[in-house]
Amino acid sequence: MNRLSINKYLKNEKYFLLFVMVLSLLVRLYYICSISVFDMQHDVGTPDTYYGHLGYISYYMQNFQLPDFDVREAFQFWHPPLHHWISAAFLTIIWKVFPGMHGNYEPLQLLPLLYITLCIWIVWKLLKLWNFQGAALYLPFLIIAFHPTFIILSGSVNNDALCFLFTILSIYLSLLWYQSPSIKLIIACALSIGLGMSSKGTAAIAAFPMAFIFLAGLFKYKMKVFGQLILFGIISLPLGMWWYIRNYILFDVPINYIYRTSTDAIGYLGNVPTWKRVFDFDIRRFSFQNIYVQFEGRFTEVNPITALLKSAVYGQSWFNYNIYIRVVAYPLVFIWTVFTTLSLCALPGLLKKSKEFLISNISIIILFVVQFISYYTFCIEYPYVWTMDIRYALPILVCHCLWLSAFTHEHPTWEKIIKYFTYAFVAITLLVFFLFTFTFK
């Protein structure tokens, strides 16, 4: 390939990235402008009481200090405060700059919109680390850029989006460090995972693939990077653990504390045997009537795997209220299941071929395995319908994206099929959210 054709390819690639980033941003912006800060949320609470994420944000706006009480006494206050600090500071500035907006919490949705946009850009950077080109680069990126989960998360004012941003940023920076170790990159790695854990404890999932990458780097570069790894620990451990240690010392809150909902809750699954939850793949759960993650009824969702597939494209029954949206959205879960299956088919080839990317491939496999085990364990130990939501396993989406790219690259005969499914997935998603914003009340 001569220099002229290379420059032409890079130019086209940049145009593609710009087009997709801008268009997907406009879609997510349209979505958040169409819903209230109280709609399509998880544990949002109210700003007038110390309850939920809005209550937590409001607390910092009013008190300018950490809670001086047992954080278990106020709903959602047990979460580390970084996201809520940023939200409180951002909203305070907005109200001062625009006095007419005082008391309006809608601008808070601009923050997760920014976080998810950065996440999508980082996914592109990850794909480029593997040197994917053409369909192997474009198609999986289109799926991620317009994925329903990321549209919904763009309006979610809880800490999921910021935690996810720091999680995948930690992986990306670690892989960069392995390619070319430096003090600058190791500090960036430490800050990423430390700030991630200061947003939500689940960011610690990145520690497992990062540990593998650092060990591989130590084996490759020997003592040249030993001091850098010590520096990583010095920065990341206090930054990531300070909140949990503080609450343990002051209020005897367990380091791994997780709130337990009452067993009287409508979504409680503790009365369903574990074996049934693991092996129940009843095909009727994918019928038109039961395609969403159900909270009640004959086909209440119990299997974490089927719930993961459903919630990845439907959230938690958000689109179940409208028959027209249900008809349009119905194929989404089957298309997503095809993508998931094809991505997993790429795994054997990743370990047999391309020694150049072996460390990167293994690190992503570790991320997937640890995240999946963590998610599955969480679903069984805390048996509620909502614990099976995709938001508790977001890194899995990135893993599927990377592996679908690898599959497309290794199996060019599948390219047309993947292309048609991708276009269908994006088109249906856009239509669903377009209909949703006109019908949701």
Q: So what's the pLDDT on residue 4?
A: 54
Amino acid 318: pLDDT: 66
* 152 pLDDT above the threshold of 70: yes
Is the per-residue pLDDT at 34 higher than 70? yes
Confidence (pLDDT) at 354: 67
pLDDT at residue 185 tops 90: yes
pLDDT at 7 over 60: no
Percent of the residues in the chain that have a pLDDT greater than 90, as a whole number: 64
Closest CA to 317 of 436, 215, 165, 228: 436
Residue range 298-347, pLDDT digits in tens: 667 889 999 999 999 887 766 666 788 888 888 999 999 999 999 999 98
**Helix (H) or strand (E) run with residue 119 in it:** helix 110-129
What is the predicted pLDDT for the residue at 50? Answer: 85
Mean confidence (pLDDT) of the chain: 90
The yes-or-no verdict on residue 212 having pLDDT over 70 is yes
Averaged pLDDT for residues 234-247 = 96
Q: What is the mean pLDDT of residues 179-195?
A: 96
Amino acid at 104: N
Percent of the chain with pLDDT over 70: 94
Mean pLDDT of 201-222: 94
pTM above 0.85, yes or no: yes
Q: Phi then psi for 258, rounded to 5 degrees?
A: -135, 130
Residue 194 predicted with pLDDT over 90: yes
Cα dihedral angle (130, 134, 136, 138), rounded to 10 degrees?
100
Confidence of residue 46 (pLDDT cuts 50, 70, 90): confident
If pLDDT is split at 50, 70 and 90, which confidence band does 285 have? confident
Which pLDDT belongs to residue 353? 66
Please write the tens of the pLDDT for every residue from 65-117.
Answer: 999 999 999 989 999 999 999 999 999 999 999 988 888 899 999 999 999 99
Place of tokens 């276009």: 423
Answer yes or no: is pLDDT of 3 > 70. no
Q: How many angstroms separate the Cα of 365 from the Cα of each of 142, 361, 391? A: 22, 6, 19
pLDDT of res. 340: 96
Q: How many other C-beta atoms can be found within 10 angstroms of the C-beta atom of residue 347?
A: 17
Q: Which stretch of 86-95, 215-224, 256-265 has the lowest confidence by average pLDDT?
A: 256-265
Is 350 a residue whose pLDDT tops 90?
no
- Cβ neighbors of 50 (< 8 A, separation 6 or more) are 56, 58, 59, 74, 75, 77
- What is the C-alpha separation between 142 and 423, in angstroms, rounded? 9
Per-residue pLDDT tens over the stretch 418-427: 999 999 999 9
Residue among 300, 323, 325 at smallest CA distance from 384? 300
The whole-number pLDDT of residue 1 equals: 45
Res. 11: pLDDT tops 70: no
